[in-house]
Amino acid sequence: QVQLIESGGGLVQSGGSLKLSCVVSGRTTSEFETYTMAWFRQAPGKEREFVAAISWSGGSTYYADSVKGRFTVSRDNTRNTAVLQMNSLRPEDTAVYSCAADQGAYFSGMYFRRSKSDYDFWGQGTQVTVSS
């Protein structure tokens, strides 16, 4: 059974930094290497939105315009882990952040798919709160 477990959320002041981690359990390293890993977020009263993603190859990264230049996504295949480093945080970044895994992109010959409906596995989410 696949599980995605996020950690690293919390309360931070505007301009501060947080590092989110997502560990994928229940899969081998070879299987994890076929997953495009992404981060989504959902603020109260809003739709879940795409934040960042890293391709299964690790060679390509993708960001929402709102976080470009402030957030960095990475992965460590030896630990089945994806990481979202968030710098220069703003109050509007406050949301529940969830990691997600997409295996279909790999088998479709694609590096990345943006739609949340394409993601097969999801974590439970971690709260990030940025105070002004």
Average pLDDT, integer, range 119-126: 96
Instruction: Give the other-Cβ count within 10 Å of 52's Cβ.
Output: 25
- Structure confidence at residue 108 as a pLDDT band (50, 70, 90): confident
pLDDT value at position 109? 84
Contact 81, 75 (CB under 8 A): yes
Q: Is the pLDDT of residue 123 over 90?
A: yes
| pLDDT tens sequence across 17-57 | 999 999 999 888 889 999 999 999 999 999 999 999 999 98
Residue 122's closest CA among 60, 41, 57? Answer: 41
DSSP state of 97: E
| pLDDT tens sequence across 60-73 | 999 999 999 999 99
Report the distance separating Cα 57 and Cα 67, nearest Å.
22
Q: Which two tokens stand for residue 120?
A: 């097969």
Q: Is the pLDDT of residue 76 over 90?
A: yes
Instruction: Give the other-Cβ count within 10 Å of 55's Cβ.
Output: 20
Query: In one letter, which amino acid is 43?
Result: A
